[in-house]
Structure 1
Amino acid sequence: MDLSIKSAQNIKYMVDQITTKLRMVNTGAISPEHFSTSSYEDLKDIYDLVMRKQSFSPNEMQAIAEELGNLRK
């Protein structure tokens, strides 16, 4: 998958991967439909960070969730 291309399919993939890796319970609050291609680069940065790390502190998870919330359209 080429994540350098801004597409709804790539947004869905990244959101799914982020919520799976962080084991987010309330995935309805962070749905791929909530993100637009205008915030694609920021979402990609969060995706890269989440995929790079093996574990997250509760504070890191809260910060990531807040950032995702800020990117919602």
Structure 2
Amino acid sequence: MWEARAVEGRGDELLAWARAQKLSAEPLRREFLSAPQDRVLVITWWDADYDADLPELPEPEGELVMRAVHRWRFESVGEG
């Protein structure tokens, strides 16, 4: 999971930037979400072990974000 907060008013630009990023391998699924305060969240699903070496979205260059990107890794424990 990748989360960043854009500089005020640039959330749409950050979302477009995230959508345009190519990974060296394709996940099973990639979902893009937005939230108030110009936040963008990207969740990727992989068929891999928790500690596998997987590609991640980079930090946006320049002054697009207000702070460093946050990254978390989770593993499924089932539904319901």
Q: TM-score, normalised by structure 1?
A: 0.33
Structure having the higher strand fraction is 2
Higher relative contact order (CA 8 A, sep 6+): 2
Structure number with greater Rg is 2
Q: TM-score, normalised by structure 2?
A: 0.31
Structure having the higher helix fraction is 1
